[in-house]
Structure 1
Amino acid sequence: MLNINNKATEIKREILIHIARYQLEGILEKKLYALPRKMLPLHGTPFRCCVHHDREILSQRIIARLGHSIEDYDEEKQLSDYAAEALKREKPTGPMLTVIDEACNACIRACYMVTSACQACIARPCMTNCPKKSIHIQKGRALIDDAQCINCGICQKNCPFHAIIKIPVPCEEACPVNAITKDEDGKETIDYNKCIFCGACIRSCPFGAMVDKGQLVDVIRHIIEGKKVVALYAPAIAAQFRAAPGQLDAAFIRAGFHQTFEVALGADITAAKEALEFEERMEQGDILMTTSCCPAYVRAIEIYVPELLPFISETRSPMHYSAERVKEAFPDCISVFVGPCLAKRKEGFDDPNVDYVLSAEEIGALFVAREIDVAACEPVLSQNQPTSSARYFARSGGVAQAVQSRLTHPEKLKVRVINGLDKAGMKALKSYGRAASENKEADANLVEVMACAGGCINGPLVLTNPKTAGSQLQKYAESSS
């Protein structure tokens, strides 16, 4: 997975800031056409063959940021047309993810390659251990016959010089459920019926071809119209900014939101309900229960491990309980969940109490466009403060700890934390599914699953390095009651 500090991410964030500024100034439809030329001047150094190709790709990135699917791209339409459609849109459209075909590099099929570090040694363990005998020596170096190679990786493991490397297709390798494949032209496509919307492909594609569809334009439109827009911010969002409690709330208010609601309050509800449910399940003889607040994980179970479905907690997510309370307090409001998660967009799309979902990058762009320094804001403190354990929902292991702290008999708890849904994580889930369906004892009776390694603070749409966010989350949580 790519470090978040990269050029593709910089371009994405620059687009968001420009869109937010143009919209706030009332010139989005009028000025958007010139943005590709503004960001990519004629005499700059192109990424591709020429600046014109780069501008075409950038135009499609802008269209995705406006909330449109690139699969429906019409080259006859202008950026102003797409902006006008976005400004008239009543609701976001699915799916939450889109592929910029023009940006896709059509990477070669994943394979192993022998580098110049090969010494053509006498032992030749790569040759002797290859099950298909697809390696031979040519011009003083081992050579792999790609036609015979089955990509098992045995040669790489056996080379004493580490001279054999794997050349992956980054998006395919990152996808834990094999939902990404090549079309007849070698370009990557997503099967949305298989996709769990974890967003791993977004963080992994070096060409920025996998893109989340934005909702920032929709939210800003409601703010400009004077609607009662309420920000429901996740603990992982508070971890994105070097700010004291209350300063983020103040920043949201300055940005135009009518009210804020800390989703950690919803996490307290989730933890209490999940603890009660766990005790009830153990009393009735269930061998295990899994957590339910990561929507990417829940979708993975629904599609790939249905035998584990009866053992997923029936407790709803913190976002759901938070949105429910906000709609009870302000029935006519526009509820906007803010978090670094792509899968939450899908969950919000399916939840009638959630109107929009903004990413950390989108809210960061709005703050920049409004010239808001979160750390300089005068704190606006709420009378309702969540527990520290609720704020720790944003890191891996935090949900299980919150549940444990609310159990009558915590000593009976045996926790397994699956920290990231990669292919190994999916394999572990399938083993729990088999154990549960056969009523066999497992090594844990509470399984916490986070699709993102490290938890929500390492989501696909974060602003801040996860280590920095982890430190900020700790300060934020320790300030709780």
Structure 2
Amino acid sequence: MFTENRSVQIRRELIKKITKLFFAGEIEQKADKIAVEMFPKHSESPRCCIYKARAIVKYRLMALFGIGDEEETDETASLAHYYKNALIEGNIKHPLLTVIDEACSSCVKINYFATNACRGCVARPCISACPKDAIHINAGQSVIDSKKCVNCGKCMKVCPYHAIVYIPVPCEEACPVNAISKNEHQKECIDFSKCIYCGKCINKCPFGAIMEKSQILDALNAIRSGAKVIAMLAPSVMGHFDAPLGKIAAAVKKIGFYGAVEVASGADLTSENEALEFIERIGSGESFITSSCCYSYIELIEKHIPGLKRHFSTTKTPMIFSAELVKKEHPDAVTVFISPCVSKKSEALKSGEVDFVLSIEELGSIMEALDIAPENCEEELIEKPATPRGRGFAASGGVMAAMDKVIRSRADAAKISGAEEGGRNDGAAPEIAPIYINGISRQSIKELKGYAENGCGKSNFIEVMSCEGGCVNGPCVINPPIIAQRKYKEFNEVKI
């Protein structure tokens, strides 16, 4: 779900600016000057005027301070005011996404539109194909009546000149659970009783109007306070930096973190426990269970597919297991999970097990702001490296593969034990017969609802990843999927 465009570049530039000002101790004095510096008088504006562009920058910065557009109480208040409030109030609150009204373009919802490429042909197949009589000819060209149109798309398919186009509302189109719609002011708004924090809408909005509320200030303030702040690096991090894990850990420490740990170690524990749960539950007669590591999927079950709750694995996620490991060794630690997605921030807030969450994109921008290049750092020794099993969790199929390794190793151990005792192994573990949901979409949600109602045949385990290709392709990352997957694969091939 990576998108490299001007909107994303502006977001990253703002992260770098506030990082530099924070460490220089000047953010309170200079935050309000950022918008003017980015769009000075007589400069080119990406919006109607530089004043609107500046206003949007203000609201973007508020989101990076952890404050949503909807939380604004005084339009005349300065960014310095919101910065001080952010430091005083601390951690962000639900909802975690905010729609910036000023940035929203109020996209007109006319899905199918006949362009001036229409030749007004004699055949008029568009009219013949329309089941709702929504097309008529005016001044020699086809016109679609949006009030009658049911968006079936039949007219577009039959037009010989490709004169009919589909015009989506990008954020609404991207949302797999129909959580985004227009309010009375024709601005987009998010229904958080439906939202699963998949983050698909963030990068799909061409105007950058949807942002997640950041915890950058919380994490940096904890570092500045001298607290023992430990970065928990998700396995997907390895797809987004030009350096091995030891150098990334060194770069993180240069920022000011006390240390860095692999969340893949938590994934090792998740795979072990989920495999044992699978053996027990399937062995006891349950038809199937589903994975538990993707928090967007957890939100999906809670809000949209309650019928799958009884099949859901109760095993803790790698992030939670990792946080417990850190707290066991460093009870006074402040934990910061480095994440590829939005949903982990929701999990951290609801569980209370993780203090803050930064995205991979945010971590990379902080490093750039401080001129820290991981590839140029001296490699740190990873004291307790995870296994390839845990490190593979960030790719689609990785959860199932890790569980399968655990089950097979237990089966092999049981065979050896049985052979040594001269007996038989009658308690053989069930084999995994998986189904892969490679990305949460409207179609895959229909599929999951079908499994909830009718079962999944001979399959007994469903692995669900919100992002197509896995966490390595999350919405809050740095590299495009092809590069991220290649780097991630190279990392997993390293012998440990």
State whether TM-score is above 0.5.
yes
**Matching residue within 396, 412, 415 for 2:431:** 412
Q: Tell whether 2:23 aligns with 1:24.
A: yes
**Matching residue within 462, 477, 487 for 1:447:** 462
Structure 2: unaligned runs, 5 residues or longer: 412-428
Structure 1 residues 172-321: aligned runs within 5 Å? 172-321=172-321
Q: Tell whether 2:470 aligns with 1:435.
A: no
Q: Tell whether 2:443 aligns with 1:424.
A: yes
Larger CA deviation: 132-141 vs 37-46: 132-141
- The answer (yes or no) to whether the contact 2:282–2:288 under 8 Å persists in 1 is yes
- The answer (yes or no) to whether the contact 1:400–1:448 under 8 Å persists in 2 is yes
Show the counterpart of 1:477.
492
Amino acid at match of 1:20: T
Q: Deviation of residue 158 (structure 1)?
A: 2.9
Show the counterpart of 2:37.
38
- The answer (yes or no) to whether the contact 1:106–1:186 under 8 Å persists in 2 is yes
Q: Deviation of residue 422 (structure 1)?
A: 1.2
Q: Tell whether 2:471 aligns with 1:456.
A: yes
Q: Deviation of residue 238 (structure 1)?
A: 2.0
Amino acid at match of 1:472: K
- The answer (yes or no) to whether the contact 2:283–2:430 under 8 Å persists in 1 is no
Find the structure with the greater CA-based Rg. Answer: 2
- The answer (yes or no) to whether the contact 2:433–2:461 under 8 Å persists in 1 is yes
- The answer (yes or no) to whether the contact 1:237–1:338 under 8 Å persists in 2 is yes
Measured at CA, do residues 54 and 443 of structure 1 come closer, stay the same or move farther in structure 2, by a change above 3 Å?
A: farther
Please state whether the residue corresponding to 1:412 is helix, strand or coil. Answer: coil
Amino acid at match of 2:257: F
Q: Deviation of residue 122 (structure 1)?
A: 4.3
TM-score (ref. length: structure 1): 0.96
Q: Deviation of residue 124 (structure 1)?
A: 3.1
- The answer (yes or no) to whether the contact 1:271–1:399 under 8 Å persists in 2 is yes
Amino acid at match of 2:362: E
Structure 1 residues 55-134: aligned runs within 5 Å? 55-73=54-72, 74-134=74-134
- The answer (yes or no) to whether the contact 1:385–1:480 under 8 Å persists in 2 is no
Amino acid at match of 1:237: V
CA separation in 2, counterparts of 1:122 and 1:95?
54
Please state whether the residue corresponding to 2:166 is helix, strand or coil. Answer: strand
CA separation in 2, counterparts of 1:197 and 1:367?
26
CA separation in 2, counterparts of 1:59 and 1:449?
37
CA separation in 1, counterparts of 2:213 and 2:472?
20
TM-score (ref. length: structure 2): 0.93
- The answer (yes or no) to whether the contact 2:110–2:146 under 8 Å persists in 1 is no
Q: Deviation of residue 480 (structure 1)?
A: 4.5
RMSD: 1.5
CA separation in 2, counterparts of 1:411 and 1:315?
18
Amino acid at match of 1:317: T
Q: Deviation of residue 38 (structure 1)?
A: 0.9
CA separation in 2, counterparts of 1:311 and 1:161?
50
Show the counterpart of 1:388.
388
Please state whether the residue corresponding to 2:292 is helix, strand or coil. Answer: coil
CA separation in 2, counterparts of 1:37 and 1:366?
22
CA separation in 2, counterparts of 1:383 and 1:60?
42
Please state whether the residue corresponding to 1:338 is helix, strand or coil. Answer: strand
Percent sequence identity over matched residues? Answer: 42
Amino acid at match of 1:182: K
- Superposed CA deviations along residues 330-384 of structure 1, whole A, max 9, x for unmatched, are 1111000001110000001112220000011211122112210011111102132
Show the counterpart of 2:419.
none
CA separation in 1, counterparts of 2:113 and 2:462?
39
- The answer (yes or no) to whether the contact 1:92–1:356 under 8 Å persists in 2 is no
- The answer (yes or no) to whether the contact 1:327–1:353 under 8 Å persists in 2 is no
- Superposed CA deviations along residues 405-462 of structure 1, whole A, max 9, x for unmatched, are 22246883221111111111111111111124xxxx5252111111111111111111
Structure 1: unaligned runs, 5 residues or longer: none
Show the counterpart of 2:363.
363
Show the counterpart of 1:8.
7
